[in-house]
A and B are shown apart, each in its own frame.
Chain A
Amino acid sequence: MLKTTPLNQTHRDMNAKMVDFGGWDMPLHYGSQLDEHHKVRQDAGMFDVSHMLSVDVKGHNVRGFLRRLVANNVDKLTIPGKALYSCMLTPQGGIIDDLIIYFLSETWFRIVVNAGTADKDVAWMQKQRDDYAVDLEITPRRDLAMIAVQGPNARTKVWQVIAGSQVATEALKQFQSVEVGPYFIARTGYTGEDGFEIILPAAEAPKFWQALHAVGVVPAGLGARDTLRLEAGMNLYGQDMDETKHPMESGLAWTVDLKADRDFIGKQVLSDTPVTHHLVGLVLLDRGVLRSHQQVVMQRDGVEHQGEITSGGFSPTMNQSIALARVPTAVSVGDEVDVVVRDKKLRAKVVKYPFVRNGKVLV
């Protein structure tokens, strides 16, 4: 039996093609994932991301608990409403999940985690709490839905739908959030476009979705979500990283704070482990489509360097194939590599990602 979000019937009513996504019955597209992709780049689209889980952590000294729990430094969160992207690591430095932490008050932080890892994440957080005898409430909020409204016109559309939201959110910067009535509105996303991620009571979700649709926001499925995030150079858990990989070889060194005088789970191993691989962008020069797990090969000075595509696909904005690949650090931006596609070797160029941001191609 698949798990469903509060918008399941709404998706079906809108003729979504539904798929099993890690045990969740989710919309893949509503007709054409390419059209949905372009709509988000050029106007506004909405995604049901209610399969992701909000976890509220409440009590005295939540901050102290999170300092140790995650690899990024929650001391960067000084203003209420501010958000931080981070990895949560095993003691060996492997990535349990990537998540966003919202600082609401010193006694309340909200953590949004991936759907596929939600149960494991909550169990890990609770175990850490118990092991360190911290007096905190860790509450999974399955009573909440989450809708991402993304695109250059996304904010304006939301303002048309939620009374009073323009005044409350117009000044929000990227990675800031605010509560407007029952809506928790954050200026975050997974597309490389401007917009909001909105957390709201499950029962309100269908009505809110319909209201957004009425002002011209098109529904977009997981298909478009994947091509948008790939163009935006954003990692997907389970593909670009997992518990066998650490952040430094997953393009996430920028989210790890090793300098601050602060111990966190995984810190020792990260500090002691030399970085041999890194994540790079690839743009396919030949015709074809790059896919995850294809082998990447580069010959230099008689040495063969081998890597692997972690996420690959067709970029609708660039009209060519792009990928993220984990390769030895000897392979760097500007190099040309071979990618083994079926029985052929195709040429690809190593680039710095993101590939696309705010509607513009950057590579």
Chain B
Amino acid sequence: MQVPADLKYSKSHEWVKSENDGTVTVGITSHAQELLGDMVFIELPEVGRTLKQKEECAVAESVKAAADVYAPISGEIVAVNSPLVDAPEKINEDAFSAWLFKMKPSNPSELDGLLSAAAYTELVENEEH
């Protein structure tokens, strides 16, 4: 299973990358896309929307099912990956480059509470057993 070591993870299968400018980039993990199967529809949040941690903010639908995507931390949406809406299969091809949105954290300490790659790997392995 692919779990890049330089990212942080939520229990709800989002990956979070801290950028140099203080924003974070968010996507869904390779494990999540594998569970969902072929992606066919993505609904992204509006730029400027303010979210609380764990609030539903996007939808990823595969041929099989719809899955909510949650804000891994609190903050404001500062950018969304609009081209993804027309090519949701990019998530299947490379979940860690097909980002969904960028946030400006309102409480950066929440980042410390996210899972490390090792902890996320353990979470997924426990789910599978």
Contacts and interface: CB of A to CB of B under 8 A. Distances in A.
B38 A32 contact: yes
Given A289-B61, A342-B59, A33 B38 contact: yes
B21 to A, nearest CB: 31
Contacts of A28: 37, 64
Given A29-B37, A33-B38, A34-B38, A223 B63 contact: yes
A81 to B, nearest CB: 36
Contact of A34 (B59, B63, B66): B63
A316 B63 CA distance: 9
A65 B37 CA distance: 46
Interface in B28-71: 37-38, 40-41, 43, 59, 61, 63-64, 66
Nearest to B40: A314
Contacts of A246: none
Interface residues of B, number: 12
A223 B66 contact: no
Contact of A289 (B40, B85, B92): B40
Interface string A311-330: 00110100001000000000
Given A33-B63, A289-B66, A314 B41 contact: yes
A287 B41 contact: yes
Interface string A277-291: 000000000011101
Contact of A223 (B37, B41, B61): B37
A313 B41 contact: no
B75 to A, nearest CB: 22
A246 B103 CA distance: 52
B22 to A, nearest CB: 32
Interface of A: 17, 28-29, 32-34, 223, 227, 287-289, 291, 313-314, 316, 321, 342
Given A34-B63, A227-B63, A287-B43, 18 more contacts: A28-B37, A28-B64, A29-B37, A32-B37, A32-B38, A32-B92, A33-B37, A33-B38, A33-B63, A287-B85, A288-B43, A288-B61, A289-B66, A313-B63, A314-B40, A314-B41, A314-B61, A316-B63
